[in-house]
Structure 1
Amino acid sequence: MTALLDLLRRRIAVDGPLTVAQYMAEALGHPRHGYYVKQDPLGAAGDFTTAPEISQVFGELIGLWCADLWQRMGTPDPVLLVELGPGRGTLMQDALRAIGRAAPGFRAALRLHLVETSPALRAAQATRLADAAWLDRLADLAEGPAVVVANEFFDALPIRQWQRGAKGWHERLVGWDEETCRLHWELSARADPGLALIPEAVRDAPEGSIAEACPAGLSHAALLGRRLAQQGGAALIVDYGPARSAPGDSLQAVRRHAFADPLEAPGDADLTAHVDFQSLAQAASQAGAIAHGPVTQGAFLETLGLRPRAAQLQKASPARAAEIDAAVARLAGPQQMGTLFKALALTAPGLGTPAGFP
């Protein structure tokens, strides 16, 4: 039994079963044994690969998107460029390179801030982004106009789940089975309508359905919405999930690039869930921002110039042509990341429709 599993067993014995959100928070963020605290999870040697690690074009296009937004904002100087969950810093490194070439005024004006809690990932980011300032929370960001990027950030925020029973919604919980010495799923004994969190479009789902909500994600979206409305700027959220709220159990674990049982090895596998883009957009809009999209990642990148930029790279490095084609297919192909992944933009009122959005 791992140290974290033993801690969870003892906590459940004292306080009762955990909500899914409590379980995810411990598995991913426990200060000693949490998944993101212990290791660098990215790349071939890790458990998963994100879009910036697939091709430099991804980060370059997002950098140019940010530069365009800065110009729409009236070229404020200084301006905050913020990334939530920056991974190894690869996306921002590529973005800054493109910004420096295409918009040197923006590069000079921006003040880079990274919101990251993982010591291992902060160390990796520092090797690529020496002039960055690090924050534990978005709420700690200094005042001022900002352009915010969040790529595969919201999918790792803890979710809550409910299952529809004959008499209403019951919260799904993580308990402990003494006979098997394993974590297991169970439901709260009392029906909980959960109407404040369950998306309205899901509340009438049939018996047996699973509903999900991400309180932390909604809080981040509302914070971004208020900030953008009051201080100006824009945010770009790229992640995976449905464009509209829908029922379903989307919690998954990934370990060594393969799916795993979410309850099997807490702290040793990545846990994520689909992002509810409709709920994020509503939370930000209610706080004062304007929501654009979501659009599919494939359509977003194609509109920004994915293929012309890939062709430039192939011309410069003909030996890598097949590799670059494979990366483009992976980022934009409908059977790969192109459709499941979406892009959502949040802007201050008056900025107009950002590039990449209809």
Structure 2
Amino acid sequence: MTLKRELLHRIASDGPLSLAEYMREALLHPQFGYYSTRDPFGVAGDFTTAPEISQMFGELLGLSLAQAWMDQGAPPQITLAELGPGRGTCMRDVLRAVRGVPGFQPDVVLIDASEKMRDVQRGTLAGHDVRWADRVEDLPDQPLFLIANEFFDALPIRQFRRDATGWREIRVGADGDDLVFGAGPDQAEPMLAHRLEDTAPGDIVETCPEAARIAGQIGAKIAQFGGAALLIDYGDWRSLGDTLQALHQHQPVHPLADPGHADLTAHVDFEAIANACAPARYSRVTPQGIFLERLGITARAQALARNLTGAALDAHIAAHRRLTHPDEMGNLFKVIGLYPDTAHPPPGLDP
């Protein structure tokens, strides 16, 4: 049995799946899901995230949160958490950067549902006092300083195509032995009423209810107990168009071709996250390159370069460019910060 065959049987029995249902099975199915069966990160995997490109990324995120902690009066009992921490590389670099900050001794929590990835993280963070949680709501009731890098883009989305009178949800059905996209019946979608102003018939709008729910949980904790969150992902202020993509071995593939064997992601709608985080406040959405430059990545890169030569120096220069240049990750990825209404945004971001 494969996941594709299991989904075909399910569709034959119960009818087409929403795109969110398909993504959830393809990514998290306990036996066949993409994240349940492999380490997808790095050159040997299917994609490379910013922490795997350079230590500078995690170091600067850590220092931004440490400064936010000081700006909020340096509370003694705090949580330092990461959503979707990958191999644990980012948190390792964060902890190295903040170890010299007097009094900054957080409870470190990684939120990851994959036991396979938890095992990888234990190796990366050996020697650090770390615990794991399944959900944001499992975090302690105390100030929360949180990182989510390329987490929200992997949450299941729904897609709706506008027509003349309403919206038709894009669904996953079957055509013989193939999974195919189709459209449900024309119907009103109250949650998309505001999108009639900036869309035309034929346009596709994506929603991610899980992203809004999680952003709301983060915002509620920060508003009540203090803290800050840095959410980094590719996307923009408002969703428009079909952004679903699948990657296998760093190459694009069809999202329905081989479920469970490719990474599925979609652009993040930062407006929806911002609206969901109340009563916490949110910063302006800022391109990753600008954010990192404000935090001093060039000075850090120059300091690290002094001890490098040859191929190592070339790779270091290329990493700095990849993280910051507008033609690479610098503009594609965006950063939004969440913070209490009694505080300022984390360093690197504007209110």
Q: 278, 287, 294: which is aligned to 1:296?
A: 287
1:156 match: 154
1:92-241 → structure 2 map (5 Å cutoff): 92-101=91-100, 103-106=101-104, 109-130=105-126, 131-178=129-176, 181-189=177-185, 191-196=186-191, 198=192, 200-201=194-195, 204-241=198-235
1:330 match: 322
Q: TM-score, normalised by structure 1?
A: 0.94
Cα distance in 2, alignment partners of residues 100 and 19 from structure 1: 45
**SS in structure 2 opposite 1:40?**
coil
Cα distance in 2, alignment partners of residues 18 and 309 from structure 1: 48
Instruction: Classify 1:203/1:118 alpha carbon distance in 2 versus 1 (closer, same or farther; 3 Å).
Output: farther
Please give the per-residue CA displacement for 1:4-60, whole angstroms capped at 9, x wherever unaligned: 011101111111100000000000000111000000000111000000000000011
Q: Is the 8 A contact 1:239 1:341 kept in 2?
A: yes
Gaps of 5+ in 2: none
Q: Is the 8 A contact 1:201 1:245 kept in 2?
A: no
Is 1:279 the counterpart of 2:272? The answer is yes
Q: Is the 8 A contact 1:202 1:247 kept in 2?
A: no
Cα distance in 2, alignment partners of residues 202 and 17 from structure 1: 26
Cα distance in 2, alignment partners of residues 164 and 85 from structure 1: 33
**SS in structure 2 opposite 1:325?**
helix
Displacement of 1:200:
2.7
**SS in structure 2 opposite 1:316?**
coil
Displacement of 1:246:
3.6
**SS in structure 1 opposite 2:188?**
coil
**SS in structure 2 opposite 1:105?**
coil
Q: Is the 8 A contact 1:199 1:213 kept in 2?
A: no
1:10 match: 9
Q: 238, 244, 247: which is aligned to 2:240?
A: 247
Instruction: Classify 1:72/1:201 alpha carbon distance in 2 versus 1 (closer, same or farther; 3 Å).
Output: farther
Identity among equivalent positions (%) equals: 46
Is 1:72 the counterpart of 2:56? The answer is no
2:80 match: 81
Q: TM-score, normalised by structure 2?
A: 0.96
- Cα RMSD over matched residues? 1.3
**SS in structure 1 opposite 2:160?**
strand
Q: Is the 8 A contact 1:83 1:115 kept in 2?
A: yes
Displacement of 1:223:
1.1
2:25 match: 26
Q: 260, 278, 295: which is aligned to 1:267?
A: 260
Cα distance in 1, alignment partners of residues 196 and 306 from structure 2: 49
What letter is aligned with 1:55?
A: S
Cα distance in 2, alignment partners of residues 315 and 337 from structure 1: 24
Displacement of 1:72:
1.4
1:42-61 → structure 2 map (5 Å cutoff): 42-61=41-60
Cα distance in 1, alignment partners of residues 83 and 346 from structure 2: 20
Gaps of 5+ in 1: none
1:39 match: 38
Cα distance in 1, alignment partners of residues 243 and 344 from structure 2: 33
What letter is aligned with 2:268?
A: V
Instruction: Classify 1:68/1:248 alpha carbon distance in 2 versus 1 (closer, same or farther; 3 Å).
Output: same
Please give the per-residue CA displacement for 1:281-331, whole angstroms capped at 9, x wherever unaligned: 1111xx200100110000000000110000011002233222111001100
Displacement of 1:204:
4.6
Cα distance in 2, alignment partners of residues 52 and 259 from structure 1: 22
Cα distance in 1, alignment partners of residues 196 and 235 from structure 2: 15
What letter is aligned with 2:172?
A: V
